[in-house]
Structures are given as structure tokens and as C-alpha cells.
Amino acid sequence: MDALTQVRQEHRKLEGLLERCERLDENAGGAALLGQLQAALRHHVDQEETILYAIFRERARQAEIDLAPLDRAVEQHRLIDRLGRELAAAGPGDARKAKLTVLGEQVRGHLDEEDSAVLSAIEDLVDDDTLLELGRRMEQRDRVIEARRELATVIPGGTRGRRVAAALGGLAAVGAAVLAFRSRRRKPPPPPPTGWRRIRRR
């Protein structure tokens, strides 16, 4: 899947998660859902800025395209990150609901602007092969994060355990990426030439 398709799917998931957070009562699992929302927001910022925005900024400079929409999107990421941390620090009650409302408005405005301006510009500027490669990098990054998360639940030991989990998760993801790369490169043997006959030895 190419990078833009992945990002647009993540946008829709993020919007759905926001709606669920706004509907749920905190006593009915809302706190856990808020944790999922904060993790999804961090993932959104990390994937876009580390992988997608970097290539777009490079190509846009080469093509002398205005980077103001991209810079605005990065500023919005910073604001969303700050609001997410404030939400996490807020206690239950009206204050938390108010912060969630403000965060929701900012996230939705950011996603709308990103969809209409930044992602459309990336689509025009970055070729399909590069977008597919970026999509593979995003998937690989997601596998690393998931492997680390799973290992962190299995390996005890505080900070040291988390470091071991991170290292093992990275190795597992790299191994999976190498296998996927090798399987893509493996080609079937060429067909025999026309008129080829097998000569049986007597």
C-alpha cells in the first residue's frame, strides 16, 4: 500500500477514535480509550514527519514550491501534541471534557487541511514508485513498534527490560523486512527456448 493511502486511512481511524472518545463516559472505559487516542496522535505525527514530510520537503525545495502549508501542518502537530499532553494530565470531569473538545476541534481542522493541501501536493510532486517505497517503510516502522510493544509486555525489568525489548523488536522487524525483500526479488526460472526438446539418454 502506498504512503498516501496509508496516511488517509490513518486519518479516518483517528477521526473515528475521536468520536468514540467524545461519546464514552469516563467510567465506561473512557480513560483507556483516551490512552489509545494519545498513542494514535503520537503515531500520526511520527509517521508523517519522519517519513512523508521529509521527502516532500526535499522535493518541494528542488521544484521551488511554497512550503508554507507544510510548515503550518508541522506547527499544528506541535499544538496537537501539547493539547494531548494536557489532556493526559487533566483529572476526570468537566476540565478533561473541555480539553478533549478543544483537542478534537484542532485535530479535525488539521486533518481537513492536511488532506486538502499537503497530501494533494505530495501526490502531485512525488512519483508512485517512491510513494510505494515510503509505504513499505511505514509498514516496517509499524512492525517495529508493534514488536517492541509485544516484547515489553513479556520481558520484565523496567528500563533495562524495555531496552532489550526494543532491540529484539528491531531485529525481528529487520528480519521480516529482509525476508519480504528477498521474496520480492526471487524470480521464476526463465521458460525453455522455443523448439526445445529434452534428449533422453539411452
- pLDDT, tens digit, for every residue of 115-166? 999 999 999 999 999 999 999 999 998 888 778 777 766 655 555 555 555 5
Alpha-carbon distance values, 6 to 81, 114, 142, 173 (Å)? 21, 14, 11, 19
Predicted model pTM: 0.70
Question: Tens digits of per-residue pLDDT, 58-91?
Answer: 999 999 988 999 999 999 999 999 999 998 888 7
- Alpha-carbon distance of 136 to 51, in angstroms, equals 11
Contact 174, 36 (CB under 8 A): no
Neighbours of 107 (CB within 10 A): 24
Q: How far apart are CA 33 and CA 22, in angstroms?
A: 10
